[in-house]
Structure 1
């Protein structure tokens, strides 16, 4: 027995996904049915959740911000740039 449902997707995303799935021989609806079945079977999201392409991670974003601050002269070039509080406090004692 199947149940109908209505879902909304970004139009461009749906077109891209449909084309990609078609190249794999899978329909969009077929993929959704497989994903739901795997969610049930595995009792977890059946795929890795990753950020969109070309979106920097928090670590990368902070490194970019730090580089921009150094380039603007807000942070000296020889600043050690601590990421660990213990390392920072140890440097104060040295």
Structure 2
């Protein structure tokens, strides 16, 4: 069977994680993509369930939400800048 070289661009961190997981299963990236491609052709669909990342907020987001609620309730001061119009904002941004 003749093969054709194909280039796939992956995020560096994703590639490291992918290599680690595939190695534990005895597969290479090339073997995995060949397996997935063959199954797609056979099944006429993506051969695995496609999941979204968790909707669970990160620790940073959780902290920001708590701070926003505390400001809203007056527990901590709201020191965020506010402007009455675009010109005030521009003036502020143009200051040295």
TM class by shorter chain equals 0.5 to 0.7
Query: Alpha-carbon deviations, 1:55-84, whole Å to 9, x = none?
Result: 25xxxxxxxxxxxx9xx68xxxxxxxxxxx
Structure 2 runs not aligned, ≥5 long: 57-68, 74-96
Q: Give the equivalent residue in structure 2 for 1:15.
A: 16
* Partner residue in 2 for 1:51: 52
Determine whether 1:5 maps to 2:3.
no
RMSD, aligned CA: 2.0
Q: Which has the larger radius of gyration?
A: 2
**Residues matched between the structures, number:** 60
3-state DSSP class of the match of 1:40? helix
2:85 equivalent in structure 1:
none
Counterpart of 2:40 in structure 1 is 39
Structure 1 residue 43, shift from structure 2 partner: 0.3
Mapping 1:49-88, distance limit 5 Å: 49-52=50-53, 54-56=54-56
Counterpart in 2 of 1:59?
Answer: none
SS in 2 for 1:51: coil
